[in-house]
Amino acid sequence: MKPNDQAATDRVIRALAESKRGPLKPKELARTLGIPSNGYHSFKRFLTSLEKAGKIQRVKGHRFVVPEGAELEPGIIVLTRAGDGFARLDSGSKDVFIGAKHLNTAMDGDRVLIRIKSRRRGRSPEGVVVSVIDRARDTIVGTFRYSKRRSTVIPLDSKFIKEIVISSGHSADADEGDVVVVLLDSYGEGGASISGRIETVLGKPTDPGVDVLAVAHGFALSFDFPADVTAAAERVARECMADPGVKRIDRTDLCIFTIDPAEAKDHDDGLSVVALGQGRFEVGVHIADVSHFVRGSDLVDVEALSRGTSVYLVDRTIPMLPEVLSSDVCSLRAGVERFTLSLFIELDQAGRVYRHRYERACVRSRGQFSYEQVQSVLDGSDGVSEDIDQALHTLDDLARSLRRVRIDRGALDLNIPEAKVVLDEKGHPIDIQRSQRLESHRLVEDFMILANEVVAADMETRELFAIYRIHEPPMRESTEGLRELLARVGYGLPKRRSLKPKDLQRLLDQVRGRPVEALVSRVVLRSLSKARYDTRNLSHFGLASPAYLHFTSPIRRYPDLMVHREIIRSLIFEKENTRPDLETLQSIAEHSSLREKEAAEAERASVDLKKVEFMEEHLGEEFIGQISGVAAYGFFVTLDTYFVDGLVHVNSLRDDSYLLDRDAHAIIGEQGKHRYRIGDRVRVQVSRVDKEARHVDFSLVRKMAWKD
């Protein structure tokens, strides 16, 4: 190591900044960095040179630390379209602004170590990237551009604004305009060009399916499983179906059925209900016993942990488990025996829960029903059979009672619409609509929430190995901003320091059907924290639940699989509780949260892609919509006819110069004549679409009165 070795310097600083033992002795630091014994003396000289340069500091006990003035903190970089970035710090402190020239090769999603440069009142702190700890990606999707001098790839994601130079002889026979996947060789260290080699040619942008493939590769999603993982899955499927394992109880006589989207291939939860008399019922929540097939640390388990979750793109599913498991032996298909971890809950017609028990069961589903089929039974317009129809009506009555109990204790009932994209046989969008939320959806949701709460309470009470699903209360800054907005539109919140979910639900009920509903609902939603996984039970604010976790979908979520293993180990096999490795468990929780976030972004991107493709057919047409968001550069409009968003850019508003008023959630003309606020209704024209940026532009025709 040499004094001017920046990479080595970054490694030392990073190790000291992330040390959980505090200051480190030279030998401890050498072990942490993997310095061989024959290089230890030169390493000590290197530390001395860093100390003289003021980059590290010696403290009591001949230990080293990072100087206090340096304010080094780890975090995740999020880039803007302009090329600047914000570091979301591990400490949870305010995001730090990083100018483009101070990114030090960091790319969107990279884990970095930053140094705080300045803190100015009323503005975000500013900093520089000292080093990149972990790269978020080693591949980028883009469009191939050929020239005799050099070939390049222009990233499709606008956050990666720099071109990538393709190494000589590594263009993989790509043609001009092809969409390709580039494996990066360098990230622009030392001011050099970012370079790489083409790994995969996806095809022309207009080829069927290439657009969604590009999205998937852009998020580094893997469609195919490694051959050894697939072979291992096929082997355990055969072996474990032949051997049900100990303490497996035959429940094939129960009337069990599944309720899922019509297109679903994996059916990981089923329901049953039995009347016990005296107004009580035993509801069975039967979950596929994935843990019987996927054992900890085997090939399939390692791959499942890496993926973290299944991903549901607009035209295909990328499963967490190989298909032989996810769509076959772990799926509760009708008419065949399947293994479950079943939770039986005794409750009454008022939604009061009395007791519960767990079983490793063998079941046989009586039917695979879609939400629409079940809704028709509940409506009385159709029927399946006498026993199933009766079971569905009983479950519906019990679900409504459970819902009332949950709402009475203060749970939020946020009806957040999602886009449903209808595709033709070639994958082209033919309609974009708001997805319907049927009573059949709520029926299933109510029992899944109940099961998750019952299991979480067991984990908490018995101090078992657990990953909780937590949802923390809104940050104080968020609630203050919400209070200020409500004061402007004539509403308020209780004056106590910490809000309760019941306060927000009461507010949402007050504004329902009023012109300000969209504005208030949007700001309430933005004020809420994001739900995530954690080994600590920090409760669930949105559900007003003291303990909550995910138990009901082990086919598609890794934390659920971890919960199943602990239930079977501790509550069914009754093995002595051993102290878990909380550091490893927390790492799994954080990884699962990250994978969930990435999956949601990929799913949203694939839907946005189809929205843009759909609106391309409507260029020049006019629609009525509602302003759903504002920014310094314009306002977003959600159409009434199709569930599509587009931007009205401030540059297209010729009548005035407009500025963003964040507190009013509006853009306001400097002359004061016009303003456009969330919730306002407008008529717009589709003026431009950009498929690569997944972006629709509208032109304002006129602002409308609410009664219009």
317-329 pLDDT, tens digit each: 999 999 999 999 9
Give the domain 6-69 fold: Arc Repressor Mutant, subunit A (1.10.10)
Biggest CA-to-CA distance, the chain: 84
pLDDT of residue 388: 97
| 3-class secondary-structure state, position 470 | strand
What type of residue sits at position 110?
Answer: D
Residue spans of the domains in the chain: they are 6-69, 71-134, 139-207, 227-466+550-596, 618-704
**Nearest Cα to 676, choosing from 608, 630, 708?**
630
Nearest Cα to 552, choosing from 634, 436, 456, 657?
456
Rg (CA), the chain: 28
- Cα(38)–Cα(320) distance, integer angstroms: 45
CA triple 324-262-599, angle to 5 deg: 65
| Strand stretches in 317-449, DSSP E | 317-318, 337-348, 353-370, 419-423, 429-434
* pLDDT above 90: residue 564: yes
State how far the Cα of 290 lies from the Cα of 360, in Å rounded to an integer: 11
686: nearest Cα among 608, 611, 628, 609:
611
8 A C-beta contact, residue 304 and residue 372: no
**What pLDDT sits at residue 492?**
84
Close Cβ partners of 484 (under 8 Å, ≥ 6 residues apart): 663
Q: List alpha helices for 243-385, DSSP H.
A: 299-307, 323, 371-379
Of 93-107, 198-212, 496-510, 554-568, which has the strongest mean pLDDT?
554-568
Same fold, 6-69 and 71-134: no
Q: Residue 477: exposed, middle, or buried by beta-carbon count in 10 A (0-12, 13-18, 19+)?
A: exposed
Q: For 547, phi and psi rounded to 5 degrees? A: -155, 135
Q: What is the pTM of this model?
A: 0.83
Instruction: Judge whether 455 and 477 are in contact, CB under 8 Å.
Output: no
Instruction: Please identify, in words, the CATH class of the domain defined by 71-134.
Output: mainly beta
Least confident of 22-36, 57-71, 184-198: 57-71
Q: Supply the CATH classification number for the domain 139-207.
A: 2.40.50.700
Least Cα distance to 414 among 523, 487, 489, 309 occurs for 523
Q: How many CB atoms lie within 10 A of CB 27?
A: 13
Looking at residue 1, its pLDDT comes to 55
Per-residue pLDDT tens digits for 269-306:
999 999 999 999 999 999 999 999 999 889 999 999 99
The CATH number of 618-704 is which of 3.30.565.10, 3.40.50.300, 3.50.40.10, 2.40.50.140?
A: 2.40.50.140
Beta bridge partners of 345: 283, 356
Please count the CA atoms within 13 angstroms of the CA of 343 that sit on its side-chain side: 27
User: In the structure encoding, which two tokens stand for residue 476, read together?
Assistant: 């104080």
**Using 50, 70 and 90 to split pLDDT, how confident is the model at 124?**
confident
| Mean pLDDT value of segment 177-196 | 89
pLDDT digits (tens, 9 = 90+) for 619-635: 999 999 999 888 888 99
> Which residue would you say has higher pLDDT here, 293 or 511?
293
What is the residue type of 12? V
Single-letter residue type at 498? S
pLDDT in tens, 515-538: 777 778 877 888 888 999 999 999
- Judged by average pLDDT, the poorest of 42-46, 275-279, 341-345 is 42-46
Q: Provide the pLDDT confidence category of residue 3 given band limits of 50, 70 and 90.
A: very low
Position 109 scores a pLDDT of 85
Torsion from C-alpha of 339, 340, 344, 349, nearest 10 degrees: -100
Q: Vertex 447, ends 405 and 301: CA angle to 5°? A: 135
Amino acid (one-letter) located at 221: L
